[in-house]
Amino acid sequence: MALSFSSPEQVGFCGDDIIEEINRDPGFGQYFTDHMAVADWDPEAGWHSDRIVPYAPFSMDPSAAVFHYGQEIFEGLKAYKRADGSIWLFRPRNNAIRFMNSARRLALPELPEADFIKSVTALVTLDARWVPGADEQSLYLRPFMVASEDFIGVRPSKKAMYCCFASPVGAYFKSGVQPVDIWVTKTYSRVGADGTGAAKCGGNYAASLMPQEVAYQNGCSQVLFVDAATHTLVEELGGMNFFLVTAAGELVTPELNGNILPGVTRDSLLALAPSMDLTPVERSVSLDEVLEGLAGGAVREVFACGTAAVITPIGSLRAEDGEHAAPGDHEVTLRLRQRLLDIQYGRVDDPFDWTQKVC
């Protein structure tokens, strides 16, 4: 039976004045809206008890499986406010389907696509006051699922909880669209072959955080990971996909080999490429090719992309052997970024029908 995520509440708690003040400079992921969507699962009843309730801490048993074995998945998507005040999602079906794929890999129950979309649209509609409307602002939505059975034996949990909450956000990087320096590590891997690399799960992030500390210590904001098996092929960042723009006019990104998260932003840029005089290419990309290409001019630009930060130009790749600058003006990167934002905010045609109106 389809879930409805209906809510007895029709009002929020925060005053409009407080929301307005928060939304003047929301930062990223610091403030949360009045409500959250929740549903529970067990093998007998399936998904049930779908509801929208005030945003509040959970009460969970200390033995709940998620606390011990990390059986958890999540998603990230945004609601965008247009100039006319209407609120839209960007390709939410892709997030819903990816959430089902992640669930399968983590031995969690699949939340049907329609129920995922309903939870998001119900929450956004109820908390519409919270969607900020200034340039590059949006309401970030964080659906997630945890194994909630109180049992510390090692097997897939027989209970799960789904939740989606929302956070008004501004630009991901405080300094605006500045090229960032990226640390390339061969010392640590994020995922291994046939592991959970293609699933959006907390465990992958847990593995990426210590290398990210190393990146900070080296003056970089993020890590670029290479494949765990040979340490020669570029994969992705801790939470963003990786692209290069070649002198031959190609938009190249590592192919989805099971270790790489299939990003919605990644897919969207590949689809937009031909209309921007770029040839989209998905193939394996060696680190040597990238570093030599930057030095020799065959690689013109490099950037990272994901829903949270949209597209971030990369100014240099730093590794133990030194710094490899990406010279140039990031012209193609910034053009792609603008085009994507223009579609997301409804400022230009949406040729692929990617945007979906909520309210």
Ligand X SMILES: *Cc1c(COP(=O)(O)O)cnc(C)c1O
Alpha helices of the chain — where are they, by DSSP H?
A: 16-24, 66-69, 92-105, 113-126, 202-217, 264-272, 287-296, 331-344
Exactly one of 132, 203, 254, 306 binds ligand X (CB under 6 A); that residue is: 306
Q: Which residues contact 219 (CB under 8 A, 6 or more apart)?
A: 181, 318
Could you tell me the smallest distance in angstroms from the CB atom of residue 140 to ligand X?
10
**Binding status of residue 143 toward ligand X by CB under 6 A:** no
Give me the DSSP letters along 56-74.
Answer: ------TTBTHHHH--EEE
Residue among 70, 222, 69 at smallest CA distance from 152: 69
The whole-angstrom separation of Cα 5 and Cα 25 is: 30
Q: What binding mask, one character per residue, do residues 203-242 give for ligand X by CB under 6 A, x or -?
A: ---------------------------------x--xxx-
Between residues 266 and 330, which has the closer beta carbon with respect to ligand X? Answer: 266
- Name the minimum Å distance from CB 163 to ligand X: 18
> Nearer Cβ to ligand X, position 149 or 236?
236
199 binds ligand X (CB under 6 A): no
Give the residue with the Cβ less far from ligand X, 26 or 263: 263
Of 116-124, 127-135, 262-270, 337-345: span binding ligand X (CB under 6 A): 262-270
3-state secondary structure of 322: strand
Q: Given the complex with ligand X, which of 159 and 200 has the nearer CB atom?
A: 200
Cβ-Cβ contacts under 8 Å for 158 (sequence gap 6 or more): 42, 43, 149, 151
Which range, of 35-43, 62-70, 133-141, 263-271, touches ligand X by CB under 6 A?
Answer: 263-271
User: Long-range contacts made by residues 185-189, C-beta under 8 angstroms, separation at least 24?
Assistant: 185/211, 185/214, 185/215, 185/223, 185/224, 185/225, 185/226, 185/319, 186/226, 186/231, 186/319, 186/320, 187/211, 187/214, 188/214, 188/223, 188/225, 189/225, 189/226, 189/227, 189/228
Total residues at interface with ligand X (CB under 6 A): 13
Closer CB to ligand X, 33 or 222, in the complex: 222
Q: Which of 118, 200, 300, 324 binds ligand X (CB under 6 A)?
A: 200
Q: Is 266 in the site for ligand X (CB under 6 A)?
A: yes
Shorter beta-carbon distance to ligand X: residue 152 or 206? 206
CB of 200 to ligand X, least distance (A): 5
Please tell me whether residue 307 binds ligand X under the rule CB under 6 A: yes
For 152, other C-beta atoms within 10 Å of its C-beta total 12
Both tokens of residue 341?
């934002």
CB of 239 to ligand X, least distance (A): 5
3-state helix, strand, coil in the chain (%, to 5): 25, 30, 45
Instruction: Based on the shown chain and the rule CB under 6 A, indicate whether residue 261 belongs to the binding site for ligand X.
Output: yes
Residue closer to ligand X by CB (options 132, 254) is 254
Residues 69-108 that bind ligand X (CB under 6 A): 76
Q: 157, 196, 212, 265: which one contacts ligand X (CB under 6 A)? A: 265
Comparing CB distances to ligand X, the nearer of 77 and 245 is: 77
When binding is defined by CB under 6 A, the residue of 79, 180, 182, 264 that contacts ligand X is 264
- For residue 102, what are the contacts with CB-CB under 8 A and spacing of at least 6? 73, 75, 108, 199, 200, 201
Judged by beta carbon, residue 236 or residue 301, the one nearer ligand X is 236
- Binding status of residue 315 toward ligand X by CB under 6 A: no
135: burial class by Cβ within 10 Å (0-12, 13-18, 19+)? exposed
Q: Footprint of ligand X on this chain (CB under 6 A)? A: 76, 200, 236, 239-241, 261, 263-266, 306-307
